[in-house]
Amino acid sequence: MLCVNMKSGGELHWEWGMSWIVPGPNQKDVIECVRNFNALRTGQAKKYLFYGRMIKPDPIETCEDSKLVLVRSDGREYITSIILTSKWLAQNGTVAQIVANAGKLPQAVVLTGCSGTLLRVYTPAGDIDYTLELVEDKRRVAFTVPPHSAVSLEWELSE
């Protein structure tokens, strides 16, 4: 479920607990992000995100430049990844791992450890290029997550 905070006049804001006087985030960037995430959520990944069950995601590797530094109201820094992921099991037994990038730059990602048959790798704009290799009976999939968008990797699990 996507959620944004809005000030009067419809301007998007950081959070409820922050002063309304503080300038909000770049409106265009947030709107593009929400538009792309919602297109995936209500389109190609709907059977996972609406009707599926969340399961433990496979590990991902990202570049060092994918770190995001957030500054708390008391001045302390909180470092996290600009890349977020979750994995979902659909009612038909297929799984999808969603990898989201809220940043302004494309992000190189490698998903490791998934077994089974990779069916599709796509974004809200359609299928994307990826490389697939087998390492010790586990798949490694390398791909790039576009800025302000998400990638869904759909798998058919091995018996």
pTM: 0.86
- Bridge pairing between strands 83-89 and 94-101: antiparallel
For the chain, give the mean pLDDT.
88
What the chain holds in terms of domains, given with CATH numbers, is 5-156 (2.60.40)
The answer to whether 25 and 11 are in contact (CB under 8 A) is no
**Banded pLDDT at 1 (limits 50, 70, 90):** low
| pLDDT per position as a tens digit, 97-136 | 999 998 889 999 999 887 788 899 999 888 888 988 877 7
What pLDDT does residue 20 have? 84
What pLDDT does residue 18 have? 79
The answer to whether 115 and 66 are in contact (CB under 8 A) is no
| pLDDT per position as a tens digit, 11-50 | 888 887 878 888 888 899 989 999 999 999 999 899 999 9
The answer to whether 24 and 8 are in contact (CB under 8 A) is no
Mean pLDDT of 1-8: 81
What pLDDT does residue 72 have? 76
E strand intervals along the chain: 5-6, 12-13, 53-55, 60-62, 67-71, 77-81, 83-89, 94-101, 107-114, 117-123, 126-127, 130-135, 138-145, 149-156
**Banded pLDDT at 143 (limits 50, 70, 90):** very high
Tokens of 22: 């503080």
